[in-house]
């Protein structure tokens, strides 16, 4: 087994991470950029970084990911990457004709200290940016933060570059969905449209990274927020930002820049998380909750009451991104499950950890939380005292196999299954799907371990 050397004896480590529960900043920035219509993400660094960023996204979404690179060689490391980026901007607009190029930096270009706004200004002055086209940027040094930080930085850049107030407040609500699947973004929009609300979601990767197979290649798929919509966000009546780590920076920047008030809420995962989202929309827009959503909620409550007996008291280990972990932990606690080990690789801060500890304060026994932590430590905790269920990305499967524990794939990246980007886990409908996945994992194990005598048909 791959992880056979994991020991149950825990030694203090301060300068070594083993199996980090995160990926690098530019991956998140590239993902956010793909949520702008007609955008070509650009990785300002070496080809190796860019290949990794693209392949990480392609392997998760099972879709071609269009992006470009400054293709640094030794020369750029010594003299800086200006010449490469100027040439790249020229080539991209000439050959691939995007509406917008979203540049993110890498460890190397950050270490060199390339001044991207200055380089973009020079490209403009040199006539390399055609009329009506745009180049934006986000700084994404990967020796700090994680893919979530990169996502957040690129979302904030969308505000910094485009949001503008026309002096009047429209009836539109801005939605910043957080680092979630394209299907989740679609579901968040659907819920808002059930409430008859006009919304602008940014970024919006639905229809980009979960589009249909049509037999025709489209370099720039139909989905994504448009630049016009991004400009209009400055005149919105309010912003709902889902997930502090991924969305708060953009929402606050929009408030500061254009005086659009914002509500920062958890991701709408689970019954109460979805209630809070719908209630926030109801409050901002002054509308009633439609019967269709009350019906969906009732279905979810019904499913929870049918399943509750199997969830009660089950010990769960969770690995993932901070915003997902917080919302998911609240959901599991509401089901009377016991999240006992929680690890994220993203440095989310003391305030976040405090919020997480508050959620699990009534869970019996000790709850171990590591922010930021790694999956080696997580595995060691499991070796010391096992859990009934694991929830996390594809890397968790090695722990699940090694210690023979039921496992639900959730989060980023999922590299070994298909479909997660087409079905949501947010909202009431997404919550029902999540409940089904958790119950299937628990009961499949019960069936597997049943003897001929105690194998049950009706459970």
CB of 143 to ligand SF4, least distance (A): 7
How far is it, in rounded angstroms, from Cα 104 to Cα 8? Answer: 40
Q: Is residue 26 at the binding interface for ligand SF4, with CB under 6 A as the rule?
A: yes
Q: Using the rule CB under 6 A, is 427 a contact of ligand SF4?
A: no
User: Quick check: 20 binds ligand SF4 (CB under 6 A)?
Assistant: no
Residues 141-200 within binding reach of ligand SF4 (CB under 6 A): 142
Encoding tokens for residue 453? Answer: 């005598």
Give the closest residue to 376 by CA, choosing from 13, 6, 14: 6
322 binds ligand SF4 (CB under 6 A): no
Three-state DSSP at 346 gives coil
19, 70, 106, 232: residue in contact with ligand SF4 (rule CB under 6 A):
106
In terms of Cα–Cα distance, which of 272, 280, 127 is closest to 197?
A: 280
Which is closer to ligand SF4, CB of 52 or CB of 395?
52
CA 260 to mean position of chain CA atoms: 24
Q: Which residues contact 99 (CB under 8 A, 6 or more apart)?
A: 37, 38, 39, 133, 134, 220, 227
Long-range contacts of 254-262 (CB under 8 A, 24+ apart): 254/159, 254/163, 254/174, 257/159, 257/160, 257/163, 258/163, 258/164, 258/165, 258/233, 258/234, 259/165, 260/163, 260/165, 260/174, 260/233, 260/234, 260/235, 260/236, 262/238
Is residue 58 a contact residue for ligand SF4 (CB under 6 A)? no
Residue 24 sits in the site that holds ligand SF4 (CB under 6 A): yes
Which DSSP letter does residue 312 get?
A: T
332 binds ligand SF4 per the rule CB under 6 A: no
Does position 49 bind ligand SF4 by CB under 6 A?
yes
Q: Please, what is the minimum distance in Å from the beta carbon of residue 110 to ligand SF4?
A: 8
The size of the interface with ligand SF4 (CB under 6 A), counted in residues, is: 8
CA angle 218, 216, 54 (to 5 degrees): 45
Choices 45-53, 265-273, 367-375, 385-393 (CB under 6 A): range interacting with ligand SF4: 45-53
Of the candidates 60, 144, 113, 131, the residue with the CA atom closest to the CA atom of residue 420 = 60
Q: Tell me: does residue 107 bind ligand SF4 (CB under 6 A).
A: yes
Least distance from C-beta 383 to ligand SF4, angstroms?
A: 29
Binding mask 62-101 for ligand SF4 (x = CB under 6 A): ----------------------------------------
Judged by CB, which is closer to ligand SF4: 37, or 53? Answer: 53
Name the minimum Å distance from CB 307 to ligand SF4. 41
Exposed, middle or buried, 451 (CB in 10 Å: 0-12/13-18/19+)?
exposed
Nearer to ligand SF4 (CB atom), residue 106 or residue 153: 106
CA pair distance 355, 334, nearest whole angstrom: 16
Q: In angstroms, give the least distance from the CB of 51 to ligand SF4.
A: 9
Minimum CB distance to ligand SF4, residue 47 (Å):
10
Nearest Cα residue to 169 out of 238, 253, 254: 238
Scanning 44-52, 172-180, 226-234, 447-455 for contacts with ligand SF4 by CB under 6 A, the matching segment is: 44-52
Residues that bind ligand SF4 (CB under 6 A): 24, 26, 45, 49, 52, 106-107, 142
């Amino acid at each position: 087994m791959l992880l056979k050397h994991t020991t149950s004896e825990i030694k203090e480590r301060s300068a070594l991470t083993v199996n980090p529960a995160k990926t690098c900043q530019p991956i998140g920035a590239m993902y956010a950029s793909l949520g702008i219509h007609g955008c070509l993400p650009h990785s300002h660094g070496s080809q190796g970084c860019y290949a990794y960023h693209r392949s990480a996204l392609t392997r998760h979404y099972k879709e071609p990911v269009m992006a470009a690179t400054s293709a640094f060689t030794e020369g750029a490391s010594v003299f800086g990457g200006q010449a490469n980026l100027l040439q790249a901007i020229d080539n991209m607009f000439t050959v691939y004709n995007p509406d917008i190029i979203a540049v993110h930096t890498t460890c190397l270009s950050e270490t060199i200290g390339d001044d991207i706004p200055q380089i973009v200004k020079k490209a403009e002055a040199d006539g390399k940016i055609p009329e009506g086209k745009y180049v934006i940027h986000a700084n994404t040094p990967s020796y700090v933060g994680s893919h979530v930080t990169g996502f957040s930085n690129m979302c904030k850049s969308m505000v910094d570059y485009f949001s503008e107030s026309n002096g009047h407040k429209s009836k539109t609500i801005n939605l910043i969905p957080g680092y979630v699947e394209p299907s989740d973004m679609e579901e968040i929009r659907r819920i808002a449209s059930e409430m008859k609300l006009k919304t602008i979601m940014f970024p919006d990767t639905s229809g980009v990274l979960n589009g249909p197979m049509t037999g025709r290649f489209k370099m720039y798929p139909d989905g994504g927020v448009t630049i016009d919509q991004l400009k209009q966000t400055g005149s919105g009546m309010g912003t709902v930002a889902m997930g502090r780590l991924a969305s708060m920076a953009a929402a606050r920047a929009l408030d500061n820049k254009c005086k659009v008030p914002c509500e920062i809420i958890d991701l709408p995962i689970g019954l109460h998380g979805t209630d809070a989202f719908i209630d926030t929309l109801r409050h901002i827009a002054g509308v009633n909750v439609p019967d269709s959503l009350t019906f969906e909620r009732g279905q979810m409550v019904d499913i929870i009451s049918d399943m509750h007996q199997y969830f009660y008291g089950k010990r769960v280990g969770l690995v993932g991104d901070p915003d997902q972990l917080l919302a998911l932990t609240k959901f599991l606690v509401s089901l009377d499950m016991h999240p006992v080990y929680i690890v994220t690789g993203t440095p989310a801060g003391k305030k976040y950890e405090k919020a997480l500890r508050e959620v699990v304060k009534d869970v019996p026994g000790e709850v171990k939380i590591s922010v930021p932590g790694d999956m080696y430590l997580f595995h060691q905790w499991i070796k010391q005292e096992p859990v009934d269920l694991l929830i996390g990305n594809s890397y968790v499967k090695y722990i699940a196999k090694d210690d023979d524990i039921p496992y639900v794939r959730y989060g980023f990246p999922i590299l070994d299954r298909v479909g997660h980007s087409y079905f949501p886990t947010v909202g009431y409908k997404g919550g029902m799907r999540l409940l089904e996945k958790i119950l299937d994992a628990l009961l499949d194990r019960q069936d597997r371990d049943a003897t001929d005598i105690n194998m049950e048909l009706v459970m």
